[in-house]
Amino acid sequence: MAFLSDTLARVKPSPTIAMSGRALELRAAGQDIISLSAGEPDFDTPAHIREAAKAAIDAGHTRYTAVDGIPALKQAICDKFARENGLDYKPSQVSVGTGGKQILYNALMATLNPGDEVIVPAPYWVSYPDMVLLAGGTPVFVSCTAEQGFVMSPEALEAAITPRTKWLILNSPSNPSGAGYDRAAMQALTDVLVKHPHVWVLADDIYEHLVFDGFEFVTPAQVEPRLKDRTLTMNGVSKAYAMTGWRIGYGAGPELLIKAMAKLQSQSTSNPSSIGQYAALAALNGPQDYIAESRAAFQRRRDLVVAGLNTCPGIDCPTPVGAFYVYPSIKDLLGKTSAGGKVIENDEAFANALLEETGVAVVFGAAFGLSPHFRISYATSDAELTDAIARIKGFCEGCR
Ligand SMILES: Cc1ncc(COP(=O)(O)O)c(C=O)c1O
């Protein structure tokens, strides 16, 4: 009898975590490493949020709470959806979990049966396919190339839908490409979805506030109200308020789904951290200045990184509208040999050679389901970014 489960055998460890691990090993061995592989803001959580958490501890909010969130936080989430997205939800339609990640996981675990399909546009966030597999479903990938701006066309969506399709996962702005669906592009997709009432929509809006150049963020249930009763609108405080470690995410959708997710959570983790919930309450209800400040900082860094990368021979870097990633192509480097003698056979070979020869850690595109690319997270200091780009440029210039 095998000790480990068959379910576990279906999934692979996170490639982004593996890359960060290699970078850490090389750093521990004394090498000068710049890691551009982490998916989190490098800023501190704003002071008023930290103070609210300390006050929550002192006020004794240190016990179990309602399984899927304290009423005050659920109300704050409803207020946020009304204020920022024009969406009207009741607290009974809201679920709070240990990060947006748990919300996605709960939704898939609570709904997927063997053979159920989940449409995942590629490039995708590394966790979607494996979460679908863990839940017993089948991911169906739709390739969205750089030429298509990394966004899915309505025709491609239509072609991917089958009678077994249960969910479409839509992440705008996207990790890893930074691409976003503007209102017209979103409407084109929702027009298709309206025709297929058995397909549910999982909108991952975690990068909602990180949009640049005046890009208007929209979410499917807002653009097409007829989809609202089959949409889970997921969001969280991790990226919006530099709160990745606090582990609070949330989702809103029909009560049937929200209740099923709460049932699952009641038998796994129970409530998300009580202190994290009070911190998230302060984040959503308090001053919102941090959002504009971080957006401006990330836009400046995006511009620095895109301009810098486009001076590197063999790299072509589109300008993303959001998140804090760029997803350049290395098509023109394929088949070349690095100064250190490594053949750039694919994007994984590129990332490995880059790390070994320059100390810059990036994540290769195959991990996100679209090659030949690599992802840079520019959520790090301007000085580190400038240094990293100089090293990448040197590496590319050395390729023959
Ligand atoms: C696209 C996307 N969705 C969801 C998450 C999960 O965020 P959290 O669990 O911190 O709320 C991440 C984090 O990297 C992400 O990139």
Task: Out of 40, 238, 375, give the residue to mutate to test ligand 1, the one with the largest number of ligand atoms within 8 Å of its CB.
Answer: 238
- Kindly calculate the radius of gyration of the chain based on its CA atoms and give it in whole angstroms: 21
- pTM comes to 0.97
C-alpha 341 to ligand 1 mean position (Å): 37
Report the distance separating Cα 251 and Cα 255, nearest Å. 11
Question: Which pLDDT does position 160 carry in this prediction?
Answer: 98
Residues with CB under 6 A from ligand 1: 39, 99-101, 125, 171, 175, 204, 206, 236, 238, 244, 249
> Considering the chain, what is the average pLDDT of its residues?
96
Name the residue type at position 129. P
Question: Which pLDDT does position 13 carry in this prediction?
Answer: 80
Atom of ligand 1 nearest to the CA of 40: 14
The CATH code of domain 6-44+290-397 reads: 3.90.1150.10
Question: Which pLDDT does position 24 carry in this prediction?
Answer: 87
Q: 49: Cβ–Cβ under 8 A, 6 or more apart, which residues? A: 241, 243, 279, 282, 283, 286
C-alpha 115 to ligand 1 mean position (Å): 26
Q: Whose CA is closest to atom 7 on ligand 1?
A: 100
Task: Out of 206, 235, 246, give the residue to mutate to test ligand 1, the one with the largest number of ligand atoms within 8 Å of its CB.
Answer: 206
Structure tokens at 177: 């490409």
Burial of 296 (0-12, 13-18, 19+ CB in 10 A): exposed
Confidence of residue 15 (pLDDT cuts 50, 70, 90): confident
Atom of ligand 1 nearest to the CA of 39: 14
Question: Which pLDDT does position 275 carry in this prediction?
Answer: 98
C-alpha 317 to ligand 1 mean position (Å): 23
Nearest to 389 by CA among 297, 289, 315: 315
Per-residue buried b or exposed e for 346-372, using 16+ beta carbons within 10 Å of the residue's own CB = ebbbbbbbbbebbbbbbbbbbbbbbbb
Statement: residue 40 has pLDDT above 90: no
For 70-96, the pLDDT digits (tens) are: 999 999 999 999 999 999 999 999 999
Task: Out of 14, 37, 101, give the residue to mutate to test ligand 1, the one with the largest number of ligand atoms within 8 Å of its CB.
Answer: 101
For 136-175, the pLDDT digits (tens) are: 999 999 999 999 999 999 999 999 999 999 999 999 999 9
Question: Which pLDDT does position 332 carry in this prediction?
Answer: 98
User: In 10 A of CB 392, how many CB atoms?
Assistant: 25
Q: What is the mean pLDDT of residues 364-393?
A: 97
Question: Which pLDDT does position 21 carry in this prediction?
Answer: 85
C-alpha 131 to ligand 1 mean position (Å): 13
Structure tokens at 353: 């050679």
Confidence of residue 7 (pLDDT cuts 50, 70, 90): confident
Statement: residue 19 has pLDDT above 90: no
Question: Which pLDDT does position 9 carry in this prediction?
Answer: 86
C-alpha 241 to ligand 1 mean position (Å): 13
Atom of ligand 1 nearest to the CA of 323: 16
Question: Which pLDDT does position 11 carry in this prediction?
Answer: 87
Name the residue with tokens 């103070």.
Answer: 51
C-alpha 249 to ligand 1 mean position (Å): 9
Q: Is the dihedral of CA 74, 285, 240, 269 positive or negative?
A: negative
Atom of ligand 1 nearest to the CA of 174: 1
Question: Which pLDDT does position 354 carry in this prediction?
Answer: 97
Question: Which pLDDT does position 238 carry in this prediction?
Answer: 97
Statement: residue 135 has pLDDT above 90: yes
Question: Which pLDDT does position 34 carry in this prediction?
Answer: 95
For 233-255, the pLDDT digits (tens) are: 999 999 999 999 999 999 999 99
Nearest to 266 by CA among 69, 101, 78, 93: 69
Q: Return the CATH class of domain 63-285.
A: alpha beta
Atom of ligand 1 nearest to the CA of 237: 11
Structure tokens at 243: 């709160």
For the chain, domain boundaries: 6-44+290-397, 63-285
Structure tokens at 80: 């946020």
Statement: residue 16 has pLDDT above 90: no
Q: 22-26, 196-200, 293-297 — which is least confidently predicted?
A: 22-26
Q: What is the mean pLDDT of residues 335-356?
A: 97
Question: Which pLDDT does position 18 carry in this prediction?
Answer: 82
Q: What is the mean pLDDT of residues 376-388?
A: 95
Atom of ligand 1 nearest to the CA of 103: 9
Report the distance separating Cα 227 and Cα 167, nearest Å. 12
Share of the chain above pLDDT 70, in %: 100
Bridge partners (DSSP) of residue 249 are 97, 236
